[in-house]
Chains A and B, each alone.
Chain A
Amino acid sequence: MSGPVSAQAIHVGSDLDIVRIRKVVREHAVAAGLSLVDQTKLVTAASELARNTLVHGGGGEVTVSTEGDERGTTIRLVFADRGPGIDDVDKALTDGFTTNSALGLGLGGARRLVHEFHIDTEPGRGTTVRIGFHAPNRRGR
């Protein structure tokens, strides 16, 4: 695959949308020249966070974009929902903390898989998670 991959916004309303997000994120990862391990890490993190958007946020929107500057290429993902928000972010990031019967590793695990992780939430106002993943070396143009 060649050429830049433009920013894409994907609505998250069902399990199938998570499948689609994984596909789009993988395309960005391949285009940015990420290794197979890095591709897998980024796609897995995207899958976790998109599922959070769906399950906890009641659906929302995911934006995927690839940015390049003098330091290299970064893939940026934004997961936004208008759900109930998170009461205690530190607690939510703790491994093993879960509000349903899931493993409780999603949020903290996703943070470990990526290079930049920022969470913006307020009870009653929804949650926005922004992540960034750096491509190891800039490709010539």
Chain B
Amino acid sequence: MQDINVSVAEFLDHHGDEIVDAWQRRTFFAGRTGGDCRAVLNGVAEVVLAGRPEDPTAAGFDAIRDLLGEIAMDRIRRGETAAQTAVTLHDLKPPVVELWTSSRDGDDALPGALRLSTALDTLRLVAMELVGGESADLVEERQQLLELSTPVIRMWDGILAVPLIGTLDSARTQATMEGLLQAIVDQQARVAILDITGVSTVDTAVAQHLLRTVMAARLMGAKCVISGIRPQIAQTMVQLGIDLGDVTTRATLADALAYGLRQIGLVVAAADNH
């Protein structure tokens, strides 16, 4: 009788098109090419042929490790949990095992099914191994992103403020700035305050975003004030060569509010009877 490992590997090879077709309709491979499915299938066939379906370090798995990790990470980046990804990986097993058992009725049906099952369990392990190492980083990244979601606050009738916090990066800063410009229209604001007390680094990209927002707000008829430039940020900006030009700046948010109130013709005065 032919070696069972050879039989199973040959089966995977002969039924490659059917398996690839079934896999492409499974969630794990959604949006992936048939070539990716084929590569994973070839990896599985290789470990079965080598008689090492239970070994995550087998050469066949090495060849597809990066691809599997990439697909799994991609799914998690789009909001899937690691547990959900593990389930979508598990879904790859039934079509293969069912196809095998339906095509065999001899003595090799059971041992072959076991080998396939083991190889696909190990495949799941290989894919999730990479996810385990990366997901902690992802949680951290998400938190940093959350940190950047900033509300537009109405300080007074006609005065808006955006307290920018944490690390500013292009996409998120852009979203915040767009939110501010929209709020200027919606609330007919005449003064917009960008408070950067909570910002740890102002590099040229961040400065450029700030300057562009100030210019856009100006075009919309609102005055923009940047407040909360801390000493270390001020010194760094000067050395970096960032010129805020004629942009109004104030040391603190309170000063910026006082400036804003004056701009709209209001003053803060002490009450007579205190």
Contact = CB atoms under 8 A, between A and B. Distances in A.
Interface of A: 15-16, 18-20, 22-23, 26, 36-37, 39-41, 43-44, 47-48, 51, 95, 102-103, 105-106, 108-110, 112-113
Most chain B CB atoms below 10 A, which of A16, A43, A113: A16
B239 interface: yes
B236 A106 contact: no
Interface residues of B, number: 24
A47 B236 CA distance: 12
Contacts, number: 76
Given A16-B141, A113-B239, A103 B169 contact: no
B144 A19 contact: yes
Chain A contact residues, majority secondary structure? helix
Given A51-B205, A103-B208, A15 B171 contact: yes
Chain B contact residues, majority secondary structure? helix
A47 B170 contact: no
B110 to A, nearest CB: 46
B30 to A, nearest CB: 22
Given A40-B232, A113-B240, A102 B144 contact: no
Nearest to B233: A40
Contacts of A37: 231-232, 235-236
B241 A95 contact: yes
A18 B169 contact: yes
B208 to A, nearest CB: 5
Given A18-B169, A44-B201, A44-B202, A109 B232 contact: no
A103 B201 contact: no
A10 B239 CA distance: 26
